[in-house]
Amino acid sequence: MDMILNDLGWRYATKKFDTEKKLSADQENTIKEALRMTPSSFWLQPWKFVFVKNPELREMLKEHAWGQSQVTDASHLLILCRENEVDQNLVNEYFEDMKKTTWAGEEDISGYKNMVTWFVWNLDSEDAKIWAEKQVYIALWNIMTVLAEMKIDSCPMEWFDSVKFDEILELQDKWISSVVILPIGFRASDDKYSENQKVRFDQNHLFLEI
C-alpha cells in the first residue's frame, strides 16, 4: 500500500490523549512550518494559528467544548483562526511580504495586486467570513495530513463555542476569530476509538467519470 494511504489509515480523530507524552520543540517547529506552507486563494493567508499553552486557559476552554477531554489532555491545543478583516491592509501586507521575499518589484506585481484588490473590495463582510473560513479549513487538512505522516495524533473539533473561546482568549483584540480547533499529541494506549474501522463511501459512490 502507498505510504500515504497507510498514514491516512493510521490516523483517526483521537478521543483520548496520553497526558504524559509531549511534542518535542522540533516537532512543534515542523508543525508551524507546515502550517506556514499551506496554500490559500490568492495566497492571501487570511489566518492566524494560536497555540494555547496556559493550562488554566485550557481548563476554562474545555467547559465550552462540551467537556471534551482532548482540549486539556493533548500535548498541544491549536486554535485555527480567520482574520476578521479581509481588506486592503491584508492585500498590502501580502504584497509587501512578496517584495521582501522575492525578486518582484512594484512594476511586476501591480497588475496582480489590482486584481486581488478588486476581489477584496467586492466581498461583503459575510462573504469575507465564509471565504476566510474556507481557507482555514485548507490549513486544517494540510496539517492533519502532515501530522499523520509524522505519526502524531490529532482531533479536529468543531464542537466548541467559538464566541466563548474568542472571549476567553481575547481574540477580538487581535482582530481574529476561532474557526476550528485541533488538539495535537499522542493517543492513549487505551483509546478504544483507535481500533474503529474507517467508515467511508466506496469509490463507486464518490467518483463520477463524465
Ligand X SMILES: Cc1cc2nc3c(=O)[nH]c(=O)nc-3n(C[C@H](O)[C@H](O)[C@H](O)COP(=O)(O)O)c2cc1C
Cα–Cα distance for residue pair 46/94, rounded to 1 Å: 10
CA angle, residues 109, 114, 116, in degrees to nearest 5: 95
Q: Give the dihedral of Cα atoms 125, 127, 130, 131; nearest 10 deg.
A: -110
Task: Considering only residues 57 through 76, tell me which ones interact with ligand X, judged by CB under 6 A.
Answer: 68
Q: Given candidates 53, 192, 198, 205, which one binds ligand X under the rule CB under 6 A? A: 198
CA–CA gap between residue 157 and residue 159 (Å, rounded): 6
**159 forms part of the interface with ligand X (CB under 6 A):** yes
- Residue 17 as a binder of ligand X (CB under 6 A): the answer is no
The distance of closest approach from Cβ of residue 48 to ligand X in the complex, given in angstroms and rounded to an integer, is 18
Task: Calculate the CA dihedral of residues 132, 36, 6, 202 and round it to 10 degrees.
Answer: 20
> Which of 158, 163, 172, 175 touches ligand X (CB under 6 A)?
158
Decide if residue 139 touches ligand X (CB under 6 A). Answer: no
Rounded CA separation 102/126 (Å): 33
Contacts for 120-128 with beta carbons within 8 Å, 24 or more apart?
A: 120/44, 120/86, 120/87, 120/88, 120/90, 120/91, 121/88, 123/86, 128/85, 128/86
Q: What ranges make up the beta strands (E) of 28-75?
A: 47-51
Nearest CB to ligand X, comparing residues 100 and 198: 198
Which of 155, 169, 176, 182 touches ligand X by CB under 6 A? Answer: 155
7 sits near ligand X (criterion: CB under 6 A): no
Site string for ligand X, 168-187 (x = CB under 6 A): ------------x-------
Rounded least distance, CB 96 to ligand X, Å: 33
Question: Residues in contact with ligand X, total (CB under 6 A)?
Answer: 11
Looking at beta carbons only, is 90 or 179 nearer to ligand X?
179
One residue of 13, 35, 109, 150 binding ligand X per CB under 6 A: 13
Which residues of the chain form contacts with ligand X (CB under 6 A)? 12-13, 15, 68, 155-159, 180, 198
